[in-house]
A and B are shown apart, each in its own frame.
Chain A
Amino acid sequence: MIELHAVSKIFNQGLPNECRALREVSVRLAGGGTTVFKGPSGSGKTTLLALVGCLARPTSGRITLNGQLLSNLPERFLTEIRRHTFGFVFQQFNLIRGLTVLENVMLPAYPLGRPHPELKKAAGALLERFDLGGKVLNKVEWLSGGEAQRVALARALINDPAVIIADEPTANLDSALSCEVLALLAELATQGRTVLISSHDPLVLEAAFINRVIELRDGRILDASPEGESYAA
C-alpha cells in the first residue's frame, strides 16, 4: 500500500523559473493491480511516479509505503527501498548506450554482488521470456523501439520488485509494439505485482487489465475511479 498525503513538488523553488509540478496531492494506491495516471503533458504524472518510486523527494507532504514514511528517509535507505521494491520503465527507455542488452539488464543487480553466473542466468531467462534471447550480446543502440522497451522491462524485473513503474511506456512505440508491451505489463500484473503507469495513450487507458485510472491536471488530481474497480469494464 502506497499513500500520498498532501504531497507537493516545486522545481527551482524561489527562482524565476519556479515550477509547481504537484499541488497537495493525496491518494491511496492499494497493493496489486494496475493504476494508470492520465493527463496532458505537464499535468504532473511523471513527477508523481518519480516521488512514489523514491526518485525524488516531495517539497512538502508525506509518502508512505506499507506504513513506512519514505519522504524523510536518508538517501541510503531510500536507495535500498528503490532497489528492492520498484522497477522502472521510462518513456525514453533510459538504457545505457555502449553496453550490451545483457549488461543493461544485469545493471540494477551489480550493487547486490550476486554471483556472476547466477545473475547472468537470471538476466538471460528474463530476456528469453521477452523474446530477446537472440539479442543478448547486441549493443542496445542497435535495437528497435519495441525491443528497447522490452529490454527496459527485463531490467526493471531483474531484482524482482513488487512494484513496476512505467512512465509513458508506449509513447515511442507504434500500435502493434504498444500492444506487445501492454501484454507484458498485464502479465506482470497477473503475477501479483503492482503496476503504476503514466500515460495519455488511449490504447493504455482502454486496456482490459487496467484497474484504476487517476486523472491529473495542473498538478492536481481531477478524478479517480474507485479503487479495485476496473476502469475499462
Chain B
Amino acid sequence: MRTYFARQHYLIDYALAALLRRKTRNLGLLLVYILLVFLFASVLLLSQGLRREAAILLQDAPEITVQRLVAGRHDLLPIQDLEILRRIRGVGEVRGRLWGYYYDPVAKANYTVMAAPERNLANDRMLIGAALAGVRQLGVGDVLSLRAADGTPALFKVAEILTSTSELLSADLMLVSEAAFRTLFQLPPDRYTDATLTVRNPREANLIAQKISLALPSSRPLLRSEILRTYHAVFDWREGLTFLCLAPLLLAFLVLAWDKAAGLSPEEKREIGILKAMGWETGDILRMKLWESALLSLTAFLVGYLLAWWQVFHNGGRLFAPVLRGWSVLYPDFRLTAAVGLDQILVLLAVTTLPYMIATLIPGWRASITDPDAAMRG
C-alpha cells in the first residue's frame, strides 16, 4: 500500500511539473476552463437558489387560495363568499387576505403591501423587508410617506425590519394594519383581495377545489402544489434558455480542449518515449496523464464554482439574475440564501471535467502504446 501511495505521489509530482513546464498554454486553458465552470455554475446555483426560495415561500402557504374572477381577470372577493367557503365540508380555517402592490417612484420598484391583522399593528405603524429598508435607507423609528389611492399622503413609522429565512419572502414586503391597508388603497370594508383556506385532510385538496368551483362558479381555486409547479416550470424554462445561450461557449471550449489534448506536441510524444525507455509502463503514463488533466480540470472546477458561489450568493447573481429571476418586474435587491446540492455539484463536475479528462487520456494512451524507440524518434 505504501508503495502504491509513493508511486501516486511521484506521478502527481511529475504531472504538476509537466503542467508548469507548459505554463503559458496551460494557464490560458485554465482561465477559459474557469470561465466556463463559472458561467454554468452561476446559472445552476442561481436557479437552484430561486427554486429553494420559492419552496420556502410556499412552505407555510395555505393549501388553497381562492380568487374571484370577473371576465377572466382577478377581482376583489366579497366578504360573504368567505362564509360560503367555510360551509364546504373538509375546509378548515378560511381567511380573507388584503394585499397589493405599491409602486414607489423614488426607488423605481414595486413593493408588496399586505395587511397583517395578527401583528396588531397601530394604523400608523409598518413592518418592512430588509431590502426595502436598504433601498429607502430606513431604520426602526423612521417615517415613510406613501401616497394613498385618493392622492392624500399616508405616513407610516417603521416599527420593525423583517428578517426571514427567505429573503425573497420579505425583501420587498410592507406589513400594515387592515384599516391602514383599506385607507391606503381606498378598499371598501366588505371586500378582500382573495381568501386562503386550510383543508383538514391535505390529500383531499383537489376534491375540495372542485367543490369550491361548484359553490363559487366565478372563483378560481389555486392549489399550493400547482403554484410550486408553475415556479419550477418557469425557472426550468429560463435555465434551459440560458444554457442554450451558453452552448456555443461550451462547444468552443470543447474544441479548444480537444485541440490541446488530441494534438500531443512532438516534444510531449518524445517525453512519453523517454519515460517508457526509462521503464515506465503504459499504465504509469496514463495515470500520470490522468493526474495532469485532473489537476487542471479540478482546479478550474473549484475556482470556477467558488467564484460562481460568490457571484450568486454574495454579489446578488448580477450576471444572470435578470434572465432567471424575471426581467419584466422591478424588484428591490435581495440576497439568496446559500444552498448547495451534492447531485448538482456531481453533474456539473461530470459535464465539465470528464470530457476534458477523456480528451487528454486518448492521445496519451496512443502515444504510450507506441514503441519507446519510435516515440523518441517522433
Contact = CB atoms under 8 A, between A and B. Distances in A.
A124 to B, nearest CB: 16
B72 interface: no
A79 B6 contact: no
A138 to B, nearest CB: 15
B21 A82 contact: no
B48 to A, nearest CB: 43
B278 interface: yes
A150 interface: no
B282 A111 contact: no
Contacts of B237: none
A203 interface: no
A112 B280 CA distance: 9
Nearest to A93: B274
Contact of A115 (B6, B11, B275, B371): B6
A53 B277 CA distance: 9
B3 interface: yes
A142 interface: no
A212 interface: no
B284 A111 contact: yes
Interface string A32-68: 0000000000000001001001011100000000000
Instruction: Kindly state the interface size class of chain B when it binds its partner.
Output: 20 to 34
A55 B376 CA distance: 10
Nearest to A159: B279
B365 interface: no
Contact of B277 (A75, A94, A115, A116): A94
Contacts of B20: 98
A84 B279 CA distance: 8
Nearest to B5: A113
B372 A114 contact: no
Contacts of A99: 17
Interface in B13-52: 14, 17-18, 20-21
B17 A98 contact: yes
Given A79-B281, A94-B274, A107-B278, A56 B17 contact: no
Given A82-B279, A94-B376, A99-B17, A57 B6 contact: no
A55 B4 CA distance: 26
A55 B279 CA distance: 10
Instruction: Tell which of B5, B11, B277 has the most Cβ of chain A within 10 Å.
Output: B277
A56 B278 contact: no
